[in-house]
Structure 1
Amino acid sequence: MRFRDRTIIITGASLGVGRATAELFHREGANVVMVARRLEPLEQAAAALGDGDRTLTIAADVADNEALAHLVRATVERFGGIGGLVNNAGAHFRGPVATREPDELSLMVDVNLRAPIALSSMVLPHLRASGGFIVNVASLAGKVPLDGAATYSATKFGLRAFSYAMAEELRGTNVSVSVVSPGPIDTGFIMDELDEVEDIVLSQEICSAEDVAQMILACASDQRVEREFPVSGAKLATLAYLVPGLRRWLKPRLVAKGAAQKARLRRDRGGG
């Protein structure tokens, strides 16, 4: 029970990675503050945990700074402090920049990058008081430019840079900052939009929401700055970033591999 009586805020907690992370920290004895836009699915997820004394659900738009400030106040009022933050909420409007509206692109920046920065700043005094952690959920798309998802990729690059820089700012203090960078995850974020997902994304091994939650818990425990999955995909992404010519040469092969994986997933789900 490594996190007994610690209070952990988790954004995007009604499903997928956020819900799995809330379940994991709850099993570790933590108080979990579950945040998402819609209250009903949040309450359903919290009810499944049991022990309502250790859960708090807050419906909030993380793109709204006033909502974030309310979230921090409500957490401290209920539990007396904050011991950790998991910035997991994400938004992705798929397709090339030319196919998306400016408001959609701006929303991705707000949810994926600006909100984690703002919320990290707001909770930092409380984390300093308690000795806590921040774990940001990025992506392998934050390690190599992903055409077809340029804005999403940019936000994840930014989130990784923010995480590394903030970890350096806080080195030697009682607060750690980490980032997890998974490839495709078997959640609705990918699977409900399978036809729109870029084929190259599915060239990487798919992990589960529980796998990513374990990565988050591990970073919170040992303060490692970054964990990635799959490790081979992370190394390939870094190499492709450093050698753009190699990325262009590999792309047709990776796209073909991802297209084959997409076809298998469709068949497995009865989609033809």
Structure 2
Amino acid sequence: MARTVLVTGATRGVGRALALQLQSTGCQVISVARSLDALPEGVEGLALDLAAPDAATRIASWVRAEHPRCAGLINNAAIMVHALLTEDPQPAEVAREIAINLVTPMQLSAQLLPVIAAQEGFVCNITSGLALAPKRDAAVYSASKSGLRAFSRALRDQVRLAALPVQVHEALLPLVDTSLSQGAPEGKMPPEEAARQILAGIRSGEDEIDVGKVRLLRLLLRLSPALAYGIIRRS
């Protein structure tokens, strides 16, 4: 595992669990947050809103100046707005959700590639089972994760074509017990277990890391796509 890893969204949920588990293996963890006080102890952070138009450029400049040996990037931060766009188009909320979930992770991955390649490191984009089967009242979140999934696959191909020593991973999360899943039914995975499976997949070099029940979702999509879409749509 890389010695210095940038984890976005490390103040809570899966991101916080990732930061703590990385620290336990001796890694230095750095992060970005609007409130640095909420970061785990020992995590150095940059105070920044990931929805800002220049967020990726500012983060990359900070990493190059303060942490030039950064060898890992985990794009974990995300927001989910539950809404029916037929009732309220929510243009501001849609733009913010896409910026945090998709635009900044894509830009940051691209801008940090030279730094990470110099350390023969990795990029891991955290997506979701909803990238495979969208949820009715989380249309923008589902679309952003589907977009990040496509970006991860294309970036992996580009990195291999360029013979860069960088591993590009995608980790697909199931329903995890975080603030994003408040009000959801039981059966949610603890964030600590999700983080454990993500880091295990990175260590083993998996291109796509299916966490928890995502494996079952893939199987169901092969056997009966209509059933799978129906289950997710009504969840």
Q: TM over 0.5: same fold?
A: yes
CA shift for structure 1 position 20: 0.5
Greater helix fraction, Structure 1 or Structure 2: 1
The gaps in structure 2 that reach 5 residues or longer are none
Q: Paired residue for 2:148?
A: 159
Q: Paired residue for 2:192?
A: 210
Instruction: Select which of 65, 69, 79 maps to 1:91.
Output: 79
- Decide whether the 8 Å contact of 1:138 with 1:179 is kept in 2: yes
Q: Which has the higher mean CA deviation after the structures are superposed, 60-69 or 128-137?
A: 60-69
- Decide whether the 8 Å contact of 2:56 with 2:105 is kept in 1: no
Q: Paired residue for 1:266?
A: none
CA shift for structure 1 position 169: 1.4
Q: Give the structure-2-normalised TM-score.
A: 0.88
Instruction: Select which of 9, 15, 38 maps to 1:18.
Output: 15
SS in 1 for 2:45: strand
Question: Take 2:176 and 2:222, find their aligned partners in 1: how far apart are those partners?
Answer: 20
Let me know the Cα RMSD of the aligned residues.
2.2
The CA deviation string for residues 48-80 of structure 1, in whole angstroms up to 9 with x for no partner, is: xxxx4xx31112111224333232232333333
Code of the aligned partner of 1:28 = T
Give the number of the structure with larger relative contact order, counting CA–CA contacts within 8 Å between residues 6 or more apart. Answer: 2
Q: How many residues align?
A: 230
Q: Which runs of 4+ in 1 moved over 6 A?
A: none
Q: Give the structure-1-normalised TM-score.
A: 0.77
Instruction: Select which of 197, 213, 219 maps to 1:235.
Output: 219
Query: Percent of aligned positions with the same letter in both sequences?
Result: 30
Question: Take 1:66 and 1:27, find their aligned partners in 2: how far apart are those partners?
Answer: 32
Q: CA distance change for structure 1 residues 239 and 10 in 2, over 3 Å: closer, same or farther?
A: farther
Instruction: Select which of 157, 168, 174 maps to 2:165.
Output: 174
Q: Paired residue for 1:226?
A: 208
Question: Take 2:7 and 2:53, find their aligned partners in 1: how far apart are those partners?
Answer: 16
The CA deviation string for residues 64-109 of structure 1, in whole angstroms up to 9 with x for no partner, is: 2433323223233333322010000101110212244111111111
Q: Paired residue for 1:190?
A: 181
CA shift for structure 1 position 110: 0.8
Question: Take 2:221 and 2:9, find their aligned partners in 1: how far apart are those partners?
Answer: 26
